[in-house]
Structure 1
């Protein structure tokens, strides 16, 4: 019967609603008189009958005008019940008006009784239908627990109630006073009772829905949830909801900030705004993970123009489209321009800077994946070192005010070509800062960025979904971690603070053991680790050995005496530098070695420069290794980078 009703056409369903409302309103009119006069056999007089019929007719018209018959019953909201209240109130007023006009006998309490009964019948009938229609859908939905009882959690529950996949079974709160209360008929439990409540309601998934201003220890929260071995997921941030990039019920894996478990670095907004507002800004590598987040944050500082520069067509298209959407939705009025090009083409960079009158450059374009750069030595050197040089010279020639290089902790006593090429880029900018005073060069050095391309987090996530194993290079390997927004905030902050030639580093707190991060992800995805003590576990953590150029421990400072800055978590270091003449001479030698495709000579030159380069293996460039003559392959004095 229910299936037959659901398969009716929209017009047929509306006619059924109209007829049922007419019957309920007629009954309510009769019942109001019968209750008032305490006469179960009461029959209306002709004038009372006329009032009743006209009231029902007018009420149906009012309901239709209010849009009540356009509402889909299974998706009725609170607004629909407000509409019913208005319609029923208008219907009661109609009785009073008609009784006065037709001089019919209608006791004063009848319209009130009628309004109460009509509301109960009209709204109750719809509520009943909604429950009947929704019951089969709820029966097959996965029960979930929502962690958070603020606006985000309540909005998520509303969305999931209309969803076909998840059924909110319980809320979890940190407020003990809310324990055992109800929100929209859903029970609320204190975090201390979560394990028992999960078993009681058969919860299969935990959804983090914390308001942005919620003050709690996320690290402690995740530690408690980790023990439950129930998948933990989250909902989009408010920024994504406002920009239209996501909906509240777009459930996804935990945010990187949650996995990191510490408070993000906050910039001094006034200082950052003063250096960007109404300026013309160029971001290289705009389509990359760091570059794209830089663009999002710069956009909200309302520069006059923002130029997005990248050699990847798709990445550039994607970030331009996203930024245009934010620009339009938030009414920022920033002129956006997407330019294809490479930082290794000095004339192209110079033409772009001159055409758009660039004031500030944020240089995020780089090859940063350690093993890949180790296998492609010359390309890594050309892009990271020479690309920075060409871009910086173009900035000087076009009168750019500020130039900010995004560097890396791998530039500190590097054991790989990627880190060494970034340290060389720092030396180039330090030399240029001494050679001239027109452009302020600043370098920002930070650790691994969670969630970036090449980050371990998406890799671990894919490995866990594939059933494992999760591969970690060494049981003792540790890294400093920060989120993409944190890294971008630091870059903007340092770009505003720099006076020329400084290297800024972030106080990144305690380093993270990679194997611990992997195990945390396994547990938070609702699985257990497979070990000798637990052979029936789900996911194995396997150690594969250090890769070429990889270190066990990363550092942020070469020197031991960092200086404080106006920002409590940003330090400044004046690292060892070279006079520009020496830098230029080194660049010429590196260029000649690159043209000759001599990777051993490149390694020797980098080692001789004040880079601290100390490789831990042989030359790993794949093309050079396969193309070198056999006699060179046997000459360890040539082949060994550390020779």
Structure 2
């Protein structure tokens, strides 16, 4: 008989059965003890004894609810339930003994009967409960009611960590009809060696994994998965587990924190979560005070350009959580705009949303849009971001990133917006490509407008790469890995700063809220603390290991050479910039040179003329006048390119990353 065809009784009927069971056990306990205490003749001819049996049974039925014996499910019976049973049996027998002494002077309830009744009740009430739990945890029902052909082949799992989570997972797995086979545990602490948890032995430490794997294979239970049960495991230790498992092609997963109240649904198996790349990179996300952000957004009309992009869509999602009065979504891509609009309908239906297809390169369209809706706070996330593509299409890059940013900033000024926030990039620091130079020029324009004292605050937030954004390296690696490799990296030593999309968006909002309330920050650039740069090769190796494979053995990593305009490393601060703390975790300030606003407007007009004329060389030349530190990579000698990596955040006044 299959599991689905079995008849299941309602929960209420099972609870009623438990109540009836307990009353019957009480009646049998008193009857058996009196039978042993008296001869059968006295038992059958003495109405007082039958009255005592009836009275004891009634007393038990009345007192059992006081001890909540059936408030929980038998399948979860524990030591606490046994304690409750002992208390109930003791209390009932003591009360009955006192009543018998008052009524019959103890004549019909000898002390031996008292002891036997107490003992039989404990065994009769506790034994079935514990037996039922064992039955459920060992999956006996599956062994009797399912045929071998109907069963799925179980996964053979090794647990890492002798912990509360491991205890809960094992118990939950044994209650599941399709539970995985748990081979045992490994644990880093020497004191836990050779200990047992629900009959499962600690087989050793992570260094003993080769022997554990070999023994499991000899026992016809080859390990297919390692599940990390510790929730507070460090990224370094988690990486070590992944690295150790990769040679054996064992996948690694981790448990959520199921030890907290509400962490377990008793009717569902506990699902282990895949280990993500973010788990291994050692970055601790900064949790921020949102009071300033709430003051910035709540009840106001907010506009987001590039609203359908990776950063823009997450910004929209987080902004909506602060209850804006209206949210204007601006994007040139119809599908992206459609997608973020549908997401808002599902997750934030109470927020008024306006969706507009507008290209930031069209100054008149942007101005009319802002004049119509008059947004109070504008987040400008629209940009062309791929360095090699912008190198091949410099006119489009300049028109979008430089002129487009100018158009949105001017429109914000014209409609009297309270704040304008531009999303910038670490590629704007000492740029060696058109994309970075255009973003630095846009930064300079916002700085100059901010110092002009117009009544609108213009703020720039600069940060590095975000994990998983569209077209970034991680989705590329994942696609290459799904095809079996190789994973392509441009250079063995290339590094980048990384941050998750949600954290980057939170920090952007936090910077905006802080900047609007801090007049001293005028003309400055907010820089998100990105932690330490990460080697791209290491990212590739970790992704391969997460798939249970060996880097450079099962999956190759191939180096293709630096692309057009690509630097070996990125920086968050330029050589001429000073850096300061804001007093907020994860948020720093860069003080850089500020250009004359009138001169910038003149240069931007020259760049616009070159773009309209289709003169890429002239447009790039004007860009270099706006950003004098812009030196194309092709003009740098190889020694200078390699030597740049020694300058990363090396100045004496470099801030200590938050959390260090």
Length-normalised TM-score, structure 1: 0.73
Q: Does 1:142 align with 2:148?
A: no
- What's the offset of the Cα at 1:445? 1.5
On the 8 A contact 2:298/2:325 being kept in 1, the answer is no
Q: Does 1:500 align with 2:508?
A: no
Counterparts of 2:155 and 2:292 in 1: how far apart (Å)?
48
On the 8 A contact 2:93/2:114 being kept in 1, the answer is no
Report the 3-state secondary structure (helix = DSSP H, G, I; strand = E; otherwise coil) of the residue aligned with 1:418. helix
Q: Describe the shift of the 1:503–1:17 C-alpha distance in structure 2 as closer, same or farther (beyond 3 A).
A: closer
Of residues 377, 385, 406 in structure 1, which corresponds to 2:402?
385
Q: Describe the shift of the 1:524–1:600 C-alpha distance in structure 2 as closer, same or farther (beyond 3 A).
A: same
On the 8 A contact 1:361/1:402 being kept in 2, the answer is yes
Of residues 85, 105, 116 in structure 1, which corresponds to 2:122?
116
Counterparts of 1:336 and 1:242 in 2: how far apart (Å)?
34
Counterparts of 2:82 and 2:399 in 1: how far apart (Å)?
68
Could you tell me which residue of structure 2 aligns to residue 257 of structure 1?
A: 278
Report the 3-state secondary structure (helix = DSSP H, G, I; strand = E; otherwise coil) of the residue aligned with 1:538. coil
- What's the offset of the Cα at 1:375? 4.7
Q: Which runs of 5+ in 2 are unaligned?
A: 217-221, 516-520, 636-660
Q: Describe the shift of the 1:15–1:382 C-alpha distance in structure 2 as closer, same or farther (beyond 3 A).
A: same
- What's the offset of the Cα at 1:460? 2.0
Counterparts of 1:296 and 1:339 in 2: how far apart (Å)?
14
Could you tell me which residue of structure 2 aligns to residue 488 of structure 1?
A: 505
Counterparts of 2:464 and 2:11 in 1: how far apart (Å)?
62
On the 8 A contact 2:413/2:454 being kept in 1, the answer is no
Report the 3-state secondary structure (helix = DSSP H, G, I; strand = E; otherwise coil) of the residue aligned with 2:479. helix
Could you tell me which residue of structure 2 aligns to residue 342 of structure 1?
A: 358
On the 8 A contact 2:386/2:435 being kept in 1, the answer is yes
Q: Describe the shift of the 1:384–1:140 C-alpha distance in structure 2 as closer, same or farther (beyond 3 A).
A: same
- What's the offset of the Cα at 1:316? 0.9
Deviations 1:320-355 (A, max 9, x none): 256439xxxxxxxx8453534435155665676677
Q: Describe the shift of the 1:70–1:507 C-alpha distance in structure 2 as closer, same or farther (beyond 3 A).
A: closer
Q: Does 1:475 align with 2:489?
A: no
On the 8 A contact 1:89/1:115 being kept in 2, the answer is no
Counterparts of 1:152 and 1:283 in 2: how far apart (Å)?
42
Counterpart mapping for 1:467-616 below 5 A: 467-498=484-515, 499-530=521-552, 537-567=553-583, 570-610=587-627, 612-616=629-633
- What's the offset of the Cα at 1:541? 0.9
On the 8 A contact 2:495/2:570 being kept in 1, the answer is yes
Q: Describe the shift of the 1:22–1:434 C-alpha distance in structure 2 as closer, same or farther (beyond 3 A).
A: closer
Counterpart mapping for 1:100-499 below 5 A: 108=114, 112-130=118-136, 131=138, 132-134=140-142, 140-147=153-160, 160-161=173-174, 164=178, 166-170=180-184, 177-178=191-192, 180-183=194-197, 186-187=200-201, 195=209, 202-211=222-231, 214=232, 217-223=234-240, 225-229=242-246, 230-235=250-255, 249-267=270-288, 275=296, 281-295=302-316, 297-298=318-319, 302=322, 304-305=324-325, 307=327, 309-311=329-331, 312-317=336-341, 319-321=343-345, 323-324=347-348, 335=351, 337=353, 339-342=355-358, 344=360, 358-498=375-515, 499=521
- What's the offset of the Cα at 1:408? 0.7
Length-normalised TM-score, structure 2: 0.71
Q: Describe the shift of the 1:437–1:127 C-alpha distance in structure 2 as closer, same or farther (beyond 3 A).
A: same
Report the 3-state secondary structure (helix = DSSP H, G, I; strand = E; otherwise coil) of the residue aligned with 1:494. helix
Aligned length: 588
Range with greater deviation from structure 2 (497-506 or 31-40): 31-40
Counterparts of 2:440 and 2:370 in 1: how far apart (Å)?
25
Report the 3-state secondary structure (helix = DSSP H, G, I; strand = E; otherwise coil) of the residue aligned with 1:545. coil
Counterparts of 2:93 and 2:365 in 1: how far apart (Å)?
77
Q: Describe the shift of the 1:494–1:27 C-alpha distance in structure 2 as closer, same or farther (beyond 3 A).
A: closer
Report the 3-state secondary structure (helix = DSSP H, G, I; strand = E; otherwise coil) of the residue aligned with 1:427. helix
Range with greater deviation from structure 2 (466-475 or 14-23): 14-23
Report the 3-state secondary structure (helix = DSSP H, G, I; strand = E; otherwise coil) of the residue aligned with 2:611. helix
Deviations 1:25-47 (A, max 9, x none): 75774365435654799697497
- What's the offset of the Cα at 1:429? 1.5
Counterparts of 1:518 and 1:186 in 2: how far apart (Å)?
35
Q: Does 1:7 align with 2:2?
A: no
Deviations 1:360-386 (A, max 9, x none): 333223232333444554444343333
Range with greater deviation from structure 2 (576-585 or 145-154): 145-154
Counterparts of 1:122 and 1:500 in 2: how far apart (Å)?
74
- What's the offset of the Cα at 1:502? 1.5
Report the 3-state secondary structure (helix = DSSP H, G, I; strand = E; otherwise coil) of the residue aligned with 1:453. coil
- What's the offset of the Cα at 1:493? 3.6
Counterparts of 1:354 and 1:288 in 2: how far apart (Å)?
24
Aligned-residue CA RMSD (Å) = 5.1
- What's the offset of the Cα at 1:262? 3.1
Q: Which runs of 5+ in 1 are unaligned?
A: 326-333, 531-536, 619-643
Counterparts of 1:157 and 1:353 in 2: how far apart (Å)?
58
Report the 3-state secondary structure (helix = DSSP H, G, I; strand = E; otherwise coil) of the residue aligned with 2:607. helix
